[in-house]
Each structure stands twice: as structure tokens, then as C-alpha cells.
Amino acid sequence: MSQTGQIDTPARSVISMQEEKEKQKKQDMQDDSIKSIIIVGGGTAGWMTAAALSNLLTHTNITLIESDRIGTVGVGEATLPHLRYFIKRLGIDEQEFMRATNATYKTGIEFVNWGKVGDAYIHPFGDFGEPIKGIDFHHYYVKLRQNGHINPIGDYSLPVVASKAQKFDYPDTDERSILSTFSYAFHMDAGLFAKYLREYSTQRGVTRQEGIVTQVKQHQDSGFIQSVTLEDGTQLSADFFVDCSGFKGLLIEDCLNTGYDDWRHWLPCDRAIAIPCQANTPPLPYTRATAREAGWQWRIPLQNRVGNGHIYSSPYMDDNTALDILLKNLDGEPTAEPNFLRFTTGKRKKVWNKNCVAIGLSAGFLEPLESTSIHLIQLGIMKLLDFFPNKHCEAVRVDEYNRMMQLEFERLRDFLVLHYHATQRDDSDFWKYVRTMQLPQGLAHKIDLFKERGRVVQYTEGLFLKASWLAVYFGQGIIPKHYDWQLDALPIEQIKRRLDEVKSQVSLASAQMPMHAESLAKHCDLETGWQTPPPPANLSLYGC
Amino acid sequence: MDVDVHMQQKPIEPLSHTQPSNTPLNTIVVVGCGLYAWTVAACLARRLYKTPTKVMVVEELNAPVDNLGESTLPAIDYFHRVLGLTERQLMAVTKGTYKLATEYVLPDSTLAAETSQSNVFYHAMSPYGSVIDNIAFQHHLTKAKRAGVPIDLNRFSLPAAAAGKGKFGLPQAGAQNLPFSYAIHVDAKRYAAGMKDFAKKLGATSVVGEISAVKTVNIGSENDKQCTHIQSICLDNTQHISADLFIDCTAHSRLIDQALQVGFVDYSDYLPCDNSIQYVTDNKPKPKATTQINPNQAGFNLNFPLQAQTVNEYHYSSAHQTQEEALASLDLDSAALETVIFRQQKSQRVASFWVGNCVAMGDAAGSLGRIAASNFHLVQSAVLRLIDLLPDRSLNEHVECPSRDEYNNLCEEEYARVLDYHCAYFALLAREKAPIDSPFWRAQTQAKCPESLMHKMKLFEQTGRFPFYERETFSEKTWLSLFLGLGLWPKEYDRLLDVGQQNLQDSLDAFEQLAGLIDQISDKMPAHYHFLQQFCGAK
Ligand SMILES: Cc1cc2nc3c(=O)[nH]c(=O)nc-3n(C[C@H](O)[C@H](O)[C@H](O)COP(=O)(O)OP(=O)(O)OC[C@H]3O[C@@H](n4cnc5c(N)ncnc54)[C@H](O)[C@@H]3O)c2cc1C
């Protein structure tokens, strides 16, 4: 009784005619299509972009210009689980990648001295308990606290408990298993990663051009970028340009004058000193971020060494003091000279302008506190491929790309600002400032809502979701006044029993996991690695 | 002596009494009657069962008539599960039927060129097609379409195909991992009675009366509307009812607007239908599991079956037709005429959904019309959200209330997205020319639509992608099939389709295979009506 008519399958002859037509149309389309791309910059951003584009745009000419004389920032060593998805999409074997970059596993970040001196908590790649009867786990936890049973919320999170015990294993793919409740990422040598991707990209047809760009030419009418000129006079033109030139933004800023939003009043750190040192203990499966008087220090364990750095705010601390603090707090002997870096936290007003997209530090820089930079590079690349333009770069496409990246940057920013603001520290001018500074619009409301009702402002797109906000809130002493009212119907003994069960499940599961060093050795060994393949990669921070 | 005794007793006082700022609400009063009010009350009573908070309903006497029935969205299943209600029971009690799709009847001009065979698009709420060679279905479809292959979307969705055949089966019938979803149609009176019964069993109380006055108090600055709270409402000039929190479910925003004067955001420029005529007719022999929407002279017709009869609604713009003209244009027989009700409802929403201690839900919060079946859905979503953000008794002491701010933010975003969805129907139908030649529809070809929808349509047309908006009620897949089904196709498809070995014939073969499978499975499903007879007590 269908009103819907049926289509007969078109006969072959019809199809071939249609394919002809289609070819014709494709040709028409091709006049508009982008045939050549120039990437300026060969840091992590440049080579990640080159690798992804060369993998997918097989008919496009891709050239990457970099200069050995300028060098890269390349300190990005702590990553997020999303990177697994990226390398998977490139068809790269994860264990091979780990061998190539001296990588170790990362299941979270430990924050020391943030809420107050002496505090420590882990922000894990995983959730805290599961909702019970449709009510979020942390409400039960709050009710328990209010009844005098105070223990860290991390006790209910497998990646927290396992990390602390220096355990690591691949998460289970069976969603019902508690062993599936976390994701993992890597600590890696970013320099080796870029080198690896350079190899990968050039094998796939990317032309690497050594040289320093000295001049950028625009089309007279449209202002689109036409070509770049190198020191030796070589002129290279393309339909589309990706600016991966680092902080300075050679194309997006020097040429297109796009503008930059300075966020230092919210994220006042603007200096860094990086220095690697010897590893004297087995690598920990997490990053450590220790708050200092005017910033914080990172500790990132690799297979062969430990990466360290001190991030600080120049109005509150001078370089020598910062270096002193860093050198006093190393696990082992330094293995290189300190590397001094300067930056301005903030974001390019538009990351896509005309026929140029900025990816990497040229697009903006937040703060390495939550290892978000490489993730932002990845997102920039993935969205560029999603919205890949033709030569015209129509406004609607560019607008959407810019809107999404803006949203992502702002949400990350707010989450980072929370770390500084949610503190009782008043032991230095720096902490007094961040503790009392005016917050970005909306963040104050987020915090108030949590304090008041235990609700985390939710969004669906964005990197850090509920579990991450909970980790920082509870970890830095923001505790809700009240739990969900529905829990008034449940006796406290029942809640305690339930939560104790979760806690013991977590510690049992952790106890059964192998040590991080053991898993690392097994997975990175050519002989044994292939016997235990990594689980499928996805874009979740919190397990499957 | 007395003083000493008193002092000795003091420590025995329970702690909670000394912390009035963090105590649960005593009473929530829901004002209104009918389906929305009782649904809200039932949900509150269920979720706050055994907690100190009491739920009371003030049933408004002489309230305007309710809609005759409700066509729902698949999310109602979640809502019912939250309440602990089983669907079969509900279907029996409410004389309901199933809804597999919205059946858009399209004038030839819109679709003729698109599908070349059918002027009906069955819009199911689950994805159409399947991923072929790791590339989403839409890209294969777009490629085929650009090559001039006629496409009938209905064949690529099991619920859509089943709907077209007048069939219905449960999800298990959708073996082979074919996406499947459905909603229901219910008789408003029966559903309301069921919810009332349920709410009362869970301890909700009720009083009946006419609201003669609402007493308000300002707890902050005089000029700030957010600071006006309702102290009590007076029934029949005699009974005063006070509460910590009031929920306005009245038809005319009796509390939120008439008493608190919150005002409205007007959408009539976008959505011009402001009146409806509703009536029932006998069922056709085999009622389809669909809500049908059909453009008509000064608006559109919407109808859906219940077990014993069909609910018909004609929504029109009073700028184009008077009530008499509209009624006359329907040409009803006397039986149908006897059932006619008239409803007036401008497209608008309250400027603020929660003011002071008063939250508006349902008609009191405004209405975006009936096309998306969203009104009832928004009520469900609102009450769950309120429970999520339920304040404590300090609500009536402090000017600040983060829960209220959050509630209002979320509702505003939600309404904006749903508004887009409603507007999309008019924008797409009248995209190239008026679907029927009438002044109303000619006007639609020039009509405005919200920025956010414009961006969405343009981006989709250019790139085949959707913008990211937070708080979408309708998923991207649903938007996608709506756009394609109503004739908006993208200019581009995923370039990976041209990179790999895939040629067009491979895609077409995959189409036929999928459509064949869907055809087979839907054939085997029972007729919708037989299913109702067998499992839901239909006679
Ligand atoms: C202190 C610090 C710590 C960080 N920690 C982390 C972390 O833990 N995790 C994380 O994800 N991220 C981290 N980041 C960010 C991360 O380092 C960067 O996102 C990443 O290195 C990408 O940099 P880039 O490729 O954009 O720029 P760069 O590395 O600066 O590369 C710029 C490239 O442009 C080339 N170039 C510049 N000018 C010219 C020119 N005129 N002609 C030709 N070539 C030119 C250079 O040769 C170079 O190849 C950190 C950053 C800092 C500053």
C-alpha cells in the first residue's frame, strides 16, 4: 500500500552515460579545485598537517617549507588520547610510533600544590564512577562526604588508582568491564615525532623545501596569498596556504594582519624554560604539574629521559630565579642546556583568513597545563579536511571553521583558568592575582552552579567534559553545598555500601594490572609487541 | 531556672534546623490542567518520591481546551522509562498508536525533480542508509544524484519504508543492524487522566478552582523582574495557596506573564500560523504509523491516527483567513463538525522561562507550533531539567540563583534550535516557489528565517556538512534526512569517494542491496493496526 514509487535499477548503459556526465562535471569542478598547497613551517604542526593532507589529498601538490636555521619549539611532549586516533588514521602502527619517539604511556596529569600547598590530585583520562539510577555518581559522593566519610574522589577512578600504583595496561574493549573505563595517551619526544612524520610525508609525495621565507605576495584584488619568496629568491606559489610558522604567524599575521586576542590577564604565564634530565626511576604513567610561586613546573617521563620545564609569569618572576627553581627540582642530571621560550597566551582573531589557515602556535597558544596544543593542531587539521575548500574559500565555510575553533579555544581557556583560580593559595603576588582576578564571561557562573548544586555546565562538543571538570573542582577544593535532592530518598548506609563496592572494584582491578614499565617493555619490543595489539582508537578522553 | 533548662536542651536540636539556606523545598505547586500539567506533576512526584518535597496541582477551572491528541518524538520512550511506565500499558490506556515517521506530503514542484516518483517523504528519526566503504551514505547519495540518478530516500530507512506500507513492528524486527526508532500518538484526555492517576498514587495532591489573584513580593531591587516572587495564589477569592516554587502550566501564562509580566519573544515573522481548528474523523481502514503534514491554503494540515479515530489539525494564519473562512475551507461533515475545537496560539516564547520562584512550561512557556511535535517534548525536557537543577529553599531569600540562570540558558539554547527546525519546513517547502498557489504560501517564499538556520542551510548546500550548534534537540542525522527529503541537496560530497577505487556503480549496487533488504524486512512486519490489536488492546 505504499504511495512511494519504486525506482528500477538503472541499466548499465544509462550508468556509463551518467559516468560520462559525471566526469564532465568533475572536470568543471576541477577548475575550482585546489591543486597545490604550501605549508610554511616544519614543527610538530607543519609535519602533522603535511602527513594528514598527503594521506588524503593524493592528487594535490603539497610543499612544506622549513628552515633548519630557525628551528622548532618542539617541547610538546605530553599528549591526549586523541593523538592515537590521528596516528591510526594515518595508518601508523602505534607500537612502532612509540619506538620511534621514545614514548611512554600517560593516563592522566598529577597536579601538586594547586588548591593549596601540600595538595595533590590526578586528572585522569577516565570518569569517576557511573551514574546510579540516573543520578550522577558524584552526588552520591557528596552525600557521603556530608555524612563525614571523606576520601578523595580519585578512589573511585581506575586510572587514578592505577596511575598512582604505576600500573598500566591497555583498556578493555568490553564496555561492561571496569577495565574499559579509561583512555590513554603518550609522553613522547616531539622532535622525533616530527622527524618520523617528515619521513612519512615525503614518502607520500610531499616536497620538502629548505629555506627561509622572506616575502609573501598577495593577489591584488582579493588579498589572497599568491606566493612566498625564499631568501635565495625562489618564488613558490600555491592555491592554498597553511601557516605553521609558529608564534610569529608569518602568513596569518605578518602578511594578512589578522590580529590576536591577548589572554594574559587570564593566563598570565608568558615564559618557559625547558630542560631534559636523566631518568633515575622507572617512568611514571602520568605527567606531573607542580605549582610554583609564579607558575608551575612540568615533569614528563620518556623511555630514556625526563622532560622538565618551568612555566612562569614575567611580571612576577625573573628568568634567573625561574631557572634556579627549575634546576633545584630535577630528578637527575640535566642532559642539555636550558631552552628559554617566550609566548603570549591568546588566540588569533581568525584562524582561517582568505586562502590561509593557521595551524599550531601560529593559531594561538593557551598554556601547556593540560597538554592541549597538539590536540588543537589535530582538530585544526581534521576540521580543515572536513571543510576542505575550493579556490574561492567561500565565506560560509570559513566562518564555520573559525566559529568552531573559537569555541574550542574558549572552552579550553576557561578550563585552564579554573586551575589557577580555584585555589586558596595566597603565598605570592601571582597567586593572589589569579585567585581574585575577573573571570572570563560564563566561567564564574559555571563555578557558582557547581558550588550551589553540584552541576557541571555541560556541552557536547569540546575537549574537557564533565569528568574533567569534576576532577579539578574536587581536586582543588570546590565542593558542592548540596547533592541532588532525589538522594534524600536513599538512606546513607545504602549509599555507603554502594560506593565502597565501587572503591574495592577499582582497587582490585588496579592490583591485577601489570606495572607501567613492564607493559611498556612488552609493547615496545619487536618480538612481543605484536602479540598484544592496542585497542581501537577513538576520540574520547574517558574510555569507551 | 528556665534559662538553664533551655540551654541544656539546645545541643539536641538537629543540625539541619540551623542551616535554613540548604534545605529542600517544602512544596512545589503546578498550576494548570490537562496533559502538560499532569505530566509535569507526575514526573516531579516520581523523582521526588520519599523526599521531603511535596507536589501539589492547582487545577484551573474554565481553562481553555487542550489539544485533542499529541504526536510525540522518540525521546518520549526515555521519559516514560524515567517514570517507570511501560509502553504497552500506556498504549492500551491512552488508545495510542505508533509513529514511525512524519509523512510530509509535498507538492510536485518541490520533489518532482528530486525523486521523480513520489510526492511523499517519510521522515523517520533514525539515520537513512548505511556507511559504505567507510564513507557516510549521504556522500554516495549526493554523488549519485549529481550524476542524475533518481533517488527515493524512503527506501533507505526501515521505519520510513515500513511506514509507507502501513506496517509496524518492534525494533527486533529491525534485525541486520538497520537503524530503527519510533514514537507514539496519544489521546490527550486519556493520557492526562493516566498521568493524573499516576501522580496521585505517588502522593501528589490537587485542588480545583479559579485563580482570582496572585500575590507577589519583590525580594531585591524594584526594577529587576527576576526578583519578583510569587507568594501565594488565591483560588475563588477564598483559598490561598503558597509554595516555595510554582510551575506555570496554564494555557495563557497566568503566572509568568499575567502576574510576573515577563513578556514574550515573538516569532510570528518566522512562523505565521497562529490559529488552529482541530477535529476528529473516523479512521481510514488501515491507519498508517505516521503523522501527516500537508501544506494547505493558509497554513498546513496535520493529522495522526488514534486507535479509534484520526485527529486532524488545520493550522493557519489569521492574517490570511478568518476562522469562518478556515472552517468553511475544510468542508467538514456534521459528525466532524461536532468535534471541532478552536485554539489560538501565536508563535512565541516567554522572555525568561524561570523568573523568581516561577517556572513556565508547556503553553505557558510559549509555543513554536506543531510541525516538529516539539511542544510536548519541550515539556518533558523542561521538567527533567528542573529536577536536575532543583534549588533549595534559599531560592526565596537570595537574589542570585545559579540554578535559575543555568536553567534559562539551557532553555534558550534549546528553543533556538527547535525554532530553526520549525522554520526549516516553511523555508524548504517554499525555497524555490510556493508549493501551492495561495497568498500565504507565496508570502513564505519571501519570508525571513533565523540567522542560525540560514547558516545551516547555506553551509549544508555548499559543503554537505552541518554547523556545530550546542543543545540540538534533533540530531544531525535527523536534520540531514530532513534537508534531503525536502529537497535541499549539497553541491559537494566527500572527496574520498573520488580518490578510492569506488565508482558510481558500486554505490548504486550498495543502494539496491540495502533497499532490497529493507523492503524484505518491512514486508514481513505486521500491519500497524494488527499490531495494535494484538498487543495494545485496540478493537
Ligand atoms: C613551554 C611549552 C610547552 C609545551 N608543552 C606542550 C605539551 O606538553 N603538549 C602539547 O601538546 N603541546 C605543548 N606545547 C605546544 C607545542 O610545543 C606546539 O604546539 C608544537 O610544538 C607546535 O609548534 P609549531 O609547529 O606550531 O611551531 P614551531 O615548533 O615553532 O615550528 C615553526 C616552524 O616554522 C618554521 N619557520 C618559522 N619561520 C620561518 C620562515 N621565515 N621561513 C621558513 N620557515 C620558518 C621553523 O623552521 C619551524 O619549522 C608546548 C609549548 C610550549 C611553548
CATH of the domain at A370: 3.50.50.60
Of B465, B522, B253, B238, nearest to B361 by C-alpha is: B253
Query: What is the residue range of A149's domain?
Result: 105-186+440-541
So what's the ipTM on this one? 0.89
Of B398, B395, B412, nearest to B360 by C-alpha is: B412
Q: For A399-421, what is each residue's pLDDT tens digit?
A: 999 999 999 999 999 999 999 99
Q: Do B147 and A457 touch (CB under 8 A)?
A: no
Domain-embedded: residue A250: yes
Q: How many domains does chain A have?
A: 3
Contacting B residues, span 122-161, partner chain A, CB-CB under 8 Å? 122, 143, 146-152, 154-155, 161
Looking at the fold, whether A382 and A472 belong to one and the same domain comes out as: no
Contacting A residues, span 58-97, partner chain B, CB-CB under 8 Å? 58-59
Mutation for testing the A interface, residue in B470, B494, B520 having most A CBs under 10 Å: B470
Report for A133-137, A186-190, B503-507: range of highest mean pLDDT: A186-190
The pLDDT of residue A132 is 92
Could you give the strand order of the β-sheet that contains A364-365, starting from the edge strand earlier in sequence? A260-262, A346-348, A364-365
Q: Do A400 and B391 touch (CB under 8 A)?
A: no
Mutation for testing the B interface, residue in A452, A456, A458 having most B CBs under 10 Å: A452
pLDDT tier, B224 (very low <50, low <70, confident <90, very high otherwise): confident
Looking at the predicted structure, is the pLDDT value of residue A1 above 80?
no
DSSP conformation class of A394: -
How far B48 CA lies from chain A's nearest CA (Å)? Answer: 6
Looking at the fold, whether A293 and A246 belong to one and the same domain comes out as: no
Looking at the fold, whether A58 and A126 belong to one and the same domain comes out as: no
Q: For B426-471, what is each residue's pLDDT tens digit?
A: 999 998 889 899 999 999 999 899 999 999 999 999 999 999 898 9
The pLDDT of residue A29 is 52
C-alpha A371 – ligand 1 centre gap (Å): 13
Q: Mind telling me the catalytic residues of A?
A: 106
The CATH classification number of B24-97+187-265+347-409 equals: 3.50.50.60
Q: Is A460 on the interface with B (CB under 8 A)?
A: yes
Looking at the predicted structure, is the pLDDT value of residue B405 above 90?
yes
Q: Do A26 and B498 touch (CB under 8 A)?
A: yes
Contacting B residues, span 322-381, partner chain A, CB-CB under 8 Å? none
Q: Is B516 on the interface with A (CB under 8 A)?
A: no
A57 chain-B contacts, CB cut-off 8 A: 495
The pLDDT of residue B20 is 39
CB-CB: which of B52, B147, B402 is closest to A18?
B147
The pLDDT of residue A461 is 75
Which grid coordinates are listed for A437? 582576578
Residue range A83-90: mean pLDDT, rounded: 96
Looking at the fold, whether A127 and A178 belong to one and the same domain comes out as: yes
Q: For B162-216, what is each residue's pLDDT tens digit?
A: 999 999 988 665 467 889 999 999 999 999 999 999 999 999 999 999 999 999 9
Given A291, A311, A342, which residue is the final one in a domain? Answer: A342
Looking at the predicted structure, is the pLDDT value of residue A378 above 80?
yes
Domain-embedded: residue A19: no
The DSSP secondary structure of B467-492, one letter per residue, reads: ---SS-SS-HHHHHHHHHHTT---S-
Q: Do A387 and B152 touch (CB under 8 A)?
A: no
Q: Do A488 and B51 touch (CB under 8 A)?
A: yes
Looking at the predicted structure, is the pLDDT value of residue A66 above 80?
yes
How far B458 CA lies from chain A's nearest CA (Å)? Answer: 7
Yes or no: say if B276 and B318 are a contact pair by the CB < 8 Å rule.
no
pLDDT tier, A30 (very low <50, low <70, confident <90, very high otherwise): low
Looking at the fold, whether A280 and A291 belong to one and the same domain comes out as: yes
Query: How far apart are alpha carbons A350 and A292 in whole angstroms?
Result: 33
The pLDDT of residue B14 is 35
Quote the distance between the C-alpha of residue A220 and its chain's center.
Answer: 38
Looking at the fold, whether A309 and A385 belong to one and the same domain comes out as: no
Residue written as cell 602578511? A255
B465 chain-A contacts, CB cut-off 8 A: 386-387, 400
Q: Is A3 on the interface with B (CB under 8 A)?
A: yes
C-alpha A43 – ligand 1 centre gap (Å): 5
Residue written as cell 533514525? B126
C-alpha A342 – ligand 1 centre gap (Å): 12
Q: Is B448 on the interface with A (CB under 8 A)?
A: no
Yes or no: say if B33 and B4 are a contact pair by the CB < 8 Å rule.
no
Looking at the fold, whether A277 and A350 belong to one and the same domain comes out as: no
The pLDDT of residue A14 is 39
A436 Cβ contact list (under 8 Å, min separation 6): none
Looking at the fold, whether A50 and A69 belong to one and the same domain comes out as: yes
Query: How far apart are alpha carbons A14 and B149 in whole angstroms?
Result: 9
Segments making up each domain of chain B, as ranges: 24-97+187-265+347-409
Q: Do B403 and A455 touch (CB under 8 A)?
A: yes
- Please state the pTM of the whole predicted model: 0.92
Q: What is the mean pLDDT of chain B?
A: 90
Given A342, A368, A391, which residue is the final one in a domain? Answer: A342
Q: Do A5 and B496 touch (CB under 8 A)?
A: no
Q: How crowded is the C-beta side of A152, counted as CA atoms within 13 Å?
A: 16
Ligand 1 neighbours by CB, cut-off 6 Å: A 40-46, 65-67, 70, 72-79, 190, 212-213, 244-246, 250, 272, 274, 309, 341, 343, 360-362, 368, 371, 373-374, 377
C-alpha A348 – ligand 1 centre gap (Å): 15
H helices of B10-67, where? 35-47
Q: For A281-329, what is each residue's pLDDT tens digit?
A: 999 999 999 999 999 999 999 999 999 999 999 999 999 999 999 999 9
CB-CB: which of B146, B505, B508 is closest to A25?
B146
Looking at the fold, whether A39 and A141 belong to one and the same domain comes out as: no
Domain-embedded: residue A109: yes
Which grid coordinates are listed for B504? 558510481
Looking at the predicted structure, is the pLDDT value of residue A15 above 50?
no
Q: Is A23 on the interface with B (CB under 8 A)?
A: no
pLDDT tier, B248 (very low <50, low <70, confident <90, very high otherwise): very high
pLDDT tier, A2 (very low <50, low <70, confident <90, very high otherwise): very low
Query: How far apart are alpha carbons A139 and A119 in whole angstroms?
Result: 22
Q: Is B530 on the interface with A (CB under 8 A)?
A: no
Long-range contacts, stretch A150-156, CB < 8 angstroms, 24+ apart: A152/A121, A152/A474, A152/A475, A153/A128, A153/A470, A153/A471, A153/A474, A153/A475, A154/A121, A154/A122, A154/A124, A154/A128, A154/A471, A154/A475, A155/A503, A155/A506, A155/A507, A156/A128, A156/A129, A156/A499, A156/A502, A156/A503, A156/A506
Q: For A96-155, what is each residue's pLDDT tens digit?
A: 999 999 999 999 999 999 999 999 999 999 999 999 988 999 999 999 999 999 999 999
Query: How far apart are alpha carbons B231 and B245 in whole angstroms?
Result: 9
Looking at the predicted structure, is the pLDDT value of residue B290 above 90?
yes
The pLDDT of residue A71 is 82
Q: Is A404 on the interface with B (CB under 8 A)?
A: yes
Residue range B491-519: mean pLDDT, rounded: 87
DSSP conformation class of A363: T
